[in-house]
């Protein structure tokens, strides 16, 4: 089964379209019950409206080649045309099926104006646009919901409307930090790897500036505090404690840099000196490439994971550790009155990004992967989605989207669908040259998956040249609007 068919099947699970054909087959209670039970809140269905009375309606839905007549309740009463195919969003499918018509069905200005009046909100071009957006997105426009959204748009500005709507979809709090982070994710400035590069560059620039100003003690204190914030135990206690006061001997730092075998050893030795009371000669240290390179390598080890470490637990540990480390650095910068510096703002942005990731990961199978590769770094994002009802059944199919940004391959989207041990994979690449490269080497991936017991079908194609670069994983997450728990790490070995 090709991935295109799988994706088509997935779309069909979320949008069921029917024709208005009068050639209907008789429906039965069991088929109706099965159809309703398979629906999920947020799903979009289409059907011919055959009857409406107040908030009660009847729809003719196409199901497995048959026409099924279902009854449902509107989330709120409104005028709808009989005999027309209308799109509805499922709001609840408990003992009673509740539906909400989508905005695209008809001109809804009267309905929007009525909803605004009932919520005691002025009817203006801006508020009509607000209500129309909510209706297009299938979101409720009852008095309480509309009032809440109006207050949030008023508080954060009308230009944030779509981001506010999307935070509601993601079930995340609407606050300035989350709005900023969601904007970063949409315009592709969200990557932890980019933050790591800035962290290293701006830390060195800040230290260099302080040293040039003759503030060697301040520069040394900042470096000491940052390094102490990074090598911490899980409980957050500093591993090395301060003892006494020492004065460095001439040439001691140069000797130390020469003797240290690894970046971790070098950084650890410098920190031992500082925690022992030694005031480091910052100007000499910053001018030595061995230190700047070792510091960057050490930060990579702290802030990134290797492909072998991309398991659910390791990623959770990384996010937890990063959150504690960045918070500790922020507190240090705040005490030093450097939180508003360029370095301080980078740390704040990274901290907010990690917090945002943690919030999303509580409810969705979405993770960002700052990857350590051989001789380079790569940004990765993984979003796993599936039909929740089918996931627990024997027929359950799990789908995932892996997005990678790599030095030589550029942006790569990999769609994976797995059903039992059968795996279908589709690569989307930026040009024909890369397509040839993947096709020449795809046997390596096929053999590795086969050795793990998977029957694999792999295809590759060039990304649409007119397609604007965007965060494909976040796009899929917002589109499917699913609340899916993180899958177990043995469901599929993405490291292959």
**249-264 pLDDT, tens digit each:** 556 777 778 877 888 8
- pTM, 2 dp: 0.65
pLDDT over 50 at 236, yes or no: no
Best CA proximity match to 366, nearest among 316, 409, 322 = 316
Q: Report how far residue 9's alpha carbon sits from residue 3's, in angstroms, rounded to the nearest whole number.
A: 10
Instruction: Tell me what pLDDT residue 235 has.
Output: 39
Contact residues for 143 (Cβ-Cβ < 8 A; gap 6+): 115, 118, 119
Q: Report how far residue 252's alpha carbon sits from residue 255's, in angstroms, rounded to the nearest whole number.
A: 5
Residue 421: φ, ψ to 5°:
-100, 10
Q: Which residue has the higher pLDDT, 366 or 387?
A: 366
Residue 51 CA: distances (Å) to CA of 82, 190, 259: 6, 49, 84
Instruction: Tell me what pLDDT residue 175 has.
Output: 94
Q: Report how far residue 269's alpha carbon sits from residue 228's, in angstroms, rounded to the nearest whole number.
A: 12
pLDDT over 80 at 444, yes or no: yes
Q: Of the CATH numbers 3.30.1960.10, 2.30.29.30, 3.40.50.170, 2.40.50.140, which one belongs to the domain with range 3-105?
A: 2.40.50.140
**Averaged pLDDT for residues 145-172:** 90
Q: Could you give the dihedral angle defined by the CA atoms of residues 331, 337, 340 and 346, in that order, rounded to the nearest 10 degrees?
A: -40
Residue with tokens 């799988």: 6
pLDDT over 70 percentage in the chain: 77
- The domain segmentation of the chain, as residue ranges, is 3-105, 109-169, 192-323, 365-496
Residue 178 CA: distances (Å) to CA of 105, 131, 185, 190, 221: 32, 22, 10, 12, 32
Q: Which residue has the higher pLDDT, 63 or 360?
A: 360
Q: Report how far residue 425's alpha carbon sits from residue 417's, in angstroms, rounded to the nearest whole number.
A: 7
Q: Report how far residue 11's alpha carbon sits from residue 312's, in angstroms, rounded to the nearest whole number.
A: 27
**Averaged pLDDT for residues 196-224:** 91
- For the four alpha carbons of 224, 229, 232 and 238, in that order, the dihedral sign comes to positive
Q: Which of 83-97, 118-132, 184-198, 373-387 has the highest mean pLDDT?
A: 118-132
Residue with tokens 């279902």: 70
**Domain 365-496 top-level CATH class:** alpha beta
**Averaged pLDDT for residues 63-76:** 77
Q: Kindly report, residue by residue over 145-156, the tens digit of the pLDDT.
A: 899 999 999 999
Q: If DSSP states are collapsed to H, E and C, what string results for the chain?
A: CCHHHHHHHHHHHHEECCCCCCCCCCCCHHHHHHHHHHCCCCCEEEEEEEEEECCEEEEEEEECCEEEEEEEEECCCCCCCCCCEEEEEEEEECCCEEEEECHHHCCCHHHHHHHHHHCCCCCCHHHHHHHHHHHHCCCCCCHHHHHHHHHHHHHHCHHHHHHHHHHHHCCCCCCHHHHHHHHHHHCCCCCHHHHHHHHHHHHHHHHHHHHHCCCHHHHHHHHHHHHHHCCECCCCCECCCCCCCECCCCCHHHHHHHHCCCHHHHHHHHHHHHHCCECCCHHHHHCCHHHHHHHHHHHHHHHCECHHHCCHHHHHHHHHHHHHHHHHHHHHHHHCCCCCCHHHHHHHHHHHHHHHHHHHHHHCCEEEEEEEECCEEEEEEEEEEECHHHHCCCCCCEEEEEEEEECCCEEEEEEEEEECCEEEEEEEECCHHHHHHHHHHHHHHHHHHHHCCCEEEEEEEECCCCCCCCCHHHHHHHHHCCCCCCCCCCCCCCCC
Residue 336 CA: distances (Å) to CA of 331, 343, 402: 9, 12, 40
Q: Kindly report, residue by residue over 294-343, the tens digit of the pLDDT.
A: 998 888 888 887 777 777 677 778 888 888 889 989 988 888 888 899 99
pLDDT over 60 at 348, yes or no: yes
Q: Report how far residue 32's alpha carbon sits from residue 36's, in angstroms, rounded to the nearest whole number.
A: 6
Cross-strand bridge partners of residue 58: 51, 71
Contact residues for 300 (Cβ-Cβ < 8 A; gap 6+): 196, 372, 377
Q: How confident is the prediction for the chain on average, in pLDDT?
A: 76
Q: Kindly report, residue by residue over 7-58, the tens digit of the pLDDT.
A: 333 333 333 333 333 333 344 677 677 778 778 776 767 788 888 888 888 8
**Averaged pLDDT for residues 262-274:** 86
Q: Report how far residue 190's alpha carbon sits from residue 184's, in angstroms, rounded to the nearest whole number.
A: 5
Q: Report how far residue 368's alpha carbon sits from residue 350's, in angstroms, rounded to the nearest whole number.
A: 13
**Averaged pLDDT for residues 429-442:** 87
Q: Which residue has the higher pLDDT, 367 or 290?
A: 290
Q: Report how far residue 103's alpha carbon sits from residue 88's, in angstroms, rounded to the nearest whole number.
A: 9
pLDDT over 60 at 1, yes or no: no
Comparing 116-120, 362-366, 430-434, the range with the smallest average pLDDT is 362-366
């Amino acid at each position: 089964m090709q991935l295109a068919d799988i994706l088509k099947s997935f779309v069909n699970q979320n949008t069921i379209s029917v024709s208005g054909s009068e050639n209907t087959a008789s429906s039965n209670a069991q088929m109706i019950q099965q159809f309703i039970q398979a629906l999920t809140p947020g799903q979009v269905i289409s059907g011919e409206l055959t009857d409406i009375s107040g908030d009660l309606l009847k729809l003719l839905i196409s199901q497995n080649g048959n026409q099924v007549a279902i009854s449902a309740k509107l989330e709120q009463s409104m005028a709808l045309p009989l005999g027309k195919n209308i799109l509805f969003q499922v709001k609840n499918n408990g003992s009673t099926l509740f539906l909400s018509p989508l905005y695209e069905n008809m001109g809804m200005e009267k309905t929007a104006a009525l909803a605004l009046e009932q919520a005691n909100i002025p009817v203006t071009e801006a508020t009509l646009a607000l209500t129309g957006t909510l209706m297009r997105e299938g979101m409720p426009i009852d008095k309480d919901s509309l009032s809440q959204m109006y207050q949030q748009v008023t508080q954060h500005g009308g230009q944030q409307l779509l981001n506010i709507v999307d935070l509601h979809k993601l079930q995340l709090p609407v606050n300035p930090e989350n709005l900023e982070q969601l904007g970063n994710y949409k315009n592709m400035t969200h990557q932890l790897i980019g933050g790591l590069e800035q962290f290293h560059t701006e830390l060195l620039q800040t230290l260099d500036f302080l040293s040039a100003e003759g503030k060697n003690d301040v520069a040394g204190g900042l470096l000491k505090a940052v390094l102490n914030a990074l090598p911490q135990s899980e409980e957050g206690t500093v591993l090395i404690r301060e003892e006494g006061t020492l004065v460095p001997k001439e040439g001691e730092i140069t000797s130390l840099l020469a003797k240290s075998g690894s970046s971790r050893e070098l950084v650890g030795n410098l920190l031992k000196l500082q925690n022992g009371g030694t005031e480091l000669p910052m100007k000499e240290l910053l001018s030595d490439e061995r230190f700047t390179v070792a510091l960057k390598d050490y930060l990579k080890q702290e802030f990134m994971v290797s492909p072998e470490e991309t398991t659910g637990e390791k990623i959770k540990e990384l996010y937890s550790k990063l959150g504690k480390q960045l918070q500790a650095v922020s507190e240090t910068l705040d005490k030093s009155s450097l939180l508003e510096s360029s370095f301080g703002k980078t740390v704040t942005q990274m901290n907010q990004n990690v917090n945002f990731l943690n919030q999303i990961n509580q409810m969705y199978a979405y993770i960002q992967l700052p990857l350590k590769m051989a001789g380079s770094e790569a940004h990765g994002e993984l979003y796993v989605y599936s039909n929740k009802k089918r996931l627990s059944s024997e027929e359950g199919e799990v789908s995932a989207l892996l997005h990678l940004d790599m030095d030589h391959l550029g942006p790569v989207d990999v769609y994976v669908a797995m059903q039992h041990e059968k795996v279908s994979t589709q690569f989307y690449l930026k040009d024909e040259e890369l397509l040839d490269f993947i096709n020449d080497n795809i046997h390596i991936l096929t053999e590795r998956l086969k050795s793990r017991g998977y029957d694999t079908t792999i295809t590759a194609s060039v990304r649409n040249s007119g397609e604007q670069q965007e965060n494909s994983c976040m796009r899929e997450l917002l589109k499917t609007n699913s609340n899916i728990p993180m899958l177990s790490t043995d469901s599929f070995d993405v490291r292959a």
